[in-house]
Every structure is written in C-alpha cells, then in structure tokens.
Amino acid sequence: MRIPSGIASLAFQRKDTASGNDQNFSGPGPTPNRKEQLVMLIMELVRFGAPVVSFILIVVMLASQNSKKESFLPVVAIDASTMDMFSGLYSVLGDSFTSEESDNTMSTSAILLMTNLTTILMGSVPDHTTSSFKSTCFHTTNHYRYSGSTSNADDAQLILPYGINQGNYNFTNVTIECQETRLFDYRNILYDNGFYYMLSFSDKDPVSDDDYESYQHDIDQKSDMINRVPAMLMFVCISQIFVVLITYYHRQKSARNEDAVIVKVIGHGMAALTMVIFLVDAVATISMTRIFLLIKKMAYNDFQTFGVTVSLGIAWFVLLWIVLFCCLVCMFGWVGPVWCAPLEDAVDEDEVDNLLTTRGRSDTVSSLTSNPFLTTFDSPSRRSSISAPTHNIPKLVVSEASYDQEFTMSQRPTSDDATSPPIRTRHIL
C-alpha cells in the first residue's frame, strides 16, 4: 500500500520544543555517501569505457583485413612445414588396400619411391598459409646451395628437399605472395598452390572425387554466414559511437534534473539499444567461432595423416570475444539500473509508520515536561518520577486527521513546509 507523498513529507517535520526551532527533514534526499559515490563512478566507467574499448578493438580487427598484403591478425592459418609425405602415403594406401580387400601388396620401398617423387613435385609448395576475409598469403621457403667461395652466390642452385644437406654453403630464402581468395575454402587454396599431389591421395580430391561436391556445398553455406560477420561488426562499431555520445548527453541532463522525462526516455532507449548491440555481436561471435571449429575438424580429418594442420587465428578470436564481453558489460550498465532497479516515488507505509511513531513519542514526552498543570510537581523527586518512565507511554497512533489537530493546537506548518516534496532515495538512471 502506498500513501500520498504529502503525508509522507509531514513525517520528516517535527517541532523542537527545547530550542523552538523547526527541523524539516523533507527535501531531495541525503547527500550520497562514499559507497554510493563509488557505485556511481563504476557505473560511469562501465557506460563510457566498455563502448570505447569495443570500438577500438573492432577498428583494429577490421583494419587488419587487408587485401594487398599479409594481415597482422589472420583469421585462419595452414601449416605445412611439418608435412610428412611418407607417413601420409603409407597410411592412406594401407587404408585403401584394407577397405578394398585386395590381395595386392606394396612394399615399403615402393611407398618410399612414391614419397620421394611426390616430395620433389611438391618442393615449392608454401610452408605457411594465412587467410583473412579478403586475401590469402603464402609463405614459401626456398633452400639454395652453392660451392666455392662465399662471394660466388651467382652459381647458387635450388636444392630440392631430398638434397638440402648437400654442398658446401646453404641458405634459405622466404617469399610471401598474396592473392584475393575466399575465406575458409582451404582445399581449393591448397590445390591451387601445389598441394594437388597430396590431395590426390585424400578422400575428397576436387578433381576426381564425387564427395567434393558435398564439401563445396558445406563450404558455400559456411562462407555465406561468415561473410556477414564484417557487416555485423561494422554495425556494432558505429553503434558504439552513438552509445558514447548519447551517454554523455544523458549524463548532462541527469545532473540538472534526474526526474526529467527526457532522462527517463533516454535511459530506456539506451537499455534497448545496448541489448540489440549485444545480440548482434553475440550472433557474429558465436556463429563464426562455431563454423571455424567445424572447418578445423574437417581439415583435420583430411590432412592429419600428412601432418598438415589448419588452425585458428588466436589473436583475432581473442579480440572478438573481448568485444562481446564489453558489449555485455555495457548492456548490464544500462539494463540493470533502468529496468531492474527503477526509481520509487512513493514512500513505503511501514517506513512512515516508524517515523510517525518516533515523532509521537518525542512530542508526548515534551508535552508532559512542559505542561503548566504539572508545575506543582516541580520537586526533583516528582519530576524524576514523571519523566523517567517514558518507556511506559503507550504507542501513539497518528493519522492525517490527528496531525491536523495537533498542528492547530501548536503550530501549523508553513506553505513551504506543507508542499515540500517527499523524501527520495538516490538513484542512478
């Protein structure tokens, strides 16, 4: 049950009979204590800091996706530096003979011969491949050797993998070549850069295997979803700019009058906006992480026997999840105070009853000690006998009518006191 705010304001107004001064406790509320000031400071840091941090991180992530040179934050990486053709061919051919139940056998020397031939043909394949949304870059390590003096480098010859340790002087040269490719299509990336000999032994050769069509269909579906991620991140980035600007405007308006209608409207609007931003970023982050893990599993099943690995760009994904965390914190900074802890204009009836009871007891004791009819009992013993047992005084039940009568007999509140606003709690909106 709520009581009118006018009656609630009277509960904080009493007459000091000893000094004759009125003590009015009504007003906008007490000054925030140290704990409330700390909460207000944390709230401002959350509302301003989280959008700024997420904006900076998204700008860095999008700027790293360059189509002309290698990205410093790659999304996916393919490592073929530890490729083992002998182990891969031995495993693939062994599984092939077992599945076909063939009596034909292949000796270890034959497999070794095939391995050497395949290795020679794949001598110039990239060791590392990094891929982003716009480009794929290939790191190729070439081994050279030359004989004679150290200055006779013009006679250097390219060393094939089986002859790296030959010659007197050896050196390596790493070349990086970038081209625009579609993200996640790791089989076509490898096939177009010299890995087709290895892919010819795998289960899903893009030329001869019918299962490649199923693989391509899966990649197309995943790529269509992933291609929306940059647009979602751009939406979050632009929205965070508006969040910071509107938060600053809301702070200025709230400092002047926190009960203004525009302050409350902005608060509810910001709560809804930050929730939409969080949901959009959550869809982008979770879907991209899930698809990457699925593709990583597909690549592992294809190339695990050859030692070729497909890994995620750890730095890029860490920043992606940090942005999601910042969006979550910013949403809580608005949704919590605005929707979960709204401002209460009215005062609870129990709180007012306690205040009225306390005031009633104080006024009763004052009237007993100042009553002119009790002057005959002015002796110290009599006075002590009257003023001492104040705890036996019955509880005074105060209503609005009794207040009106009491102020008529003693002193009515002034117009300023009567219209004083109810006490309010400090609230961060």
Confidence of residue 21 (pLDDT cuts 50, 70, 90): very low
CA angle 344, 346, 348 (to 5 degrees): 100
- Does residue 393 surpass a pLDDT of 50? no
For residue 280, which of 251, 323, 315, 311 has the smallest C-alpha distance? 323
Does residue 71 carry a pLDDT above 90?
no
Q: Which of 410, 409, 347 has the alpha carbon at shortest distance from 11?
A: 347
Please, what is the average pLDDT of the chain? 70
Share of the chain above pLDDT 90, in %: 17
Residue 12 pLDDT level (bands cut at 50, 70, 90): very low
What percentage of the chain carries pLDDT values higher than 70?
Answer: 56
Neighbour-count burial for 24-35, b at 16+ CB within 10 Å, e otherwise: eebeeeeeeeee
Beta bridge partners of 141: 174
pLDDT confidence of residue 147: 55
> What does the pLDDT read at residue 211?
64
| Neighbour count for residue 342 (Cβ, 10 Å) | 12
Type of residue at 258 = E
What pLDDT band is residue 26 in, cutting at 50, 70 and 90? very low
Identity of the highest mean pLDDT range in 125-134, 137-146, 380-389: 125-134
Q: State how far the Cα of 142 lies from the Cα of 139, in Å rounded to an integer.
A: 10
When mean pLDDT is compared over 20-29, 86-95, 403-412, the highest value belongs to: 86-95
- Lowest mean pLDDT, pick from 7-16, 93-102, 146-155, 375-384: 7-16
Amino acid letter for position 358: T
Place of tokens 């990086």: 176
Q: What is the mean pLDDT of residues 379-398?
A: 48
C-alpha 105: how far from chain center:
58
Q: What contacts 398, CB < 8 A, 6 or more positions away?
A: 356, 357, 359, 360
Overall average pLDDT of the 149-157 stretch:
51
Question: To which residue do tokens 């996640």 refer?
Answer: 184
More confident residue, 12 or 228: 228
Range among 147-156, 244-253, 254-263, 294-303 with highest mean pLDDT value = 244-253
pTM: predicted TM-score of the whole model, two decimal places: 0.64
What pLDDT was estimated at residue 366?
53
Does pLDDT of 150 surpass 90? no
For residue 175, pLDDT beyond 50? yes
Flag the least confident range among 108-112, 252-256, 327-331: 108-112
Confidence tier at 363 by pLDDT (50, 70, 90): low
pLDDT at 390 over 70: no
Higher pLDDT: 37 or 90? It is 37
89-98, 138-147, 265-274, 364-373: range with highest mean pLDDT: 265-274
Digit-coded pLDDT (tens) for 209-236: 566 677 777 777 787 788 889 899 999 9
**Range of 85-89, 291-295, 316-320 with top mean pLDDT:** 316-320
CA angle 221, 92, 163 (to 5 degrees): 105
Q: How far apart (Å, rounded) are the C-alpha atoms in residues 335 and 326?
A: 14
Instruction: Summarize pLDDT for 309-360 with one digit per residue, the tens.
Output: 888 889 999 999 999 999 999 999 998 888 886 544 444 555 555 655 665 5
Q: Where residue 20 falls among pLDDT bands split at 50, 70, 90?
A: very low
Q: What is the mean pLDDT of residues 28-43?
A: 72
Tell me the average pLDDT across 70-74. Answer: 84
pLDDT at residue 268 greater than cutoff 70: yes
Query: How many angstroms separate the CA atoms of 264 and 269, rounded?
Result: 9
Residue 36's CB is within 10 A of a number of other CB atoms, namely: 15
Give the CA count within 13 Å in the CB-facing half-sphere of 344. 12
Distance CA(268)–CA(335), nearest Å, equals 8
SS3 275: helix
Tell whether the model's pLDDT for residue 375 goes beyond 50.
no
**Around 95, how many Cα atoms within 13 Å sit in the side-chain half-sphere?**
9
CA-wise closest residue to 65 among 230, 284, 289: 230
What local confidence, expressed as pLDDT, does residue 25 receive? Answer: 42
**Residue entry with tokens 């508006």:** 242
pLDDT for residue 195: 81
Question: What's the pLDDT score for residue 54?
Answer: 95
pLDDT of residue 127: 85
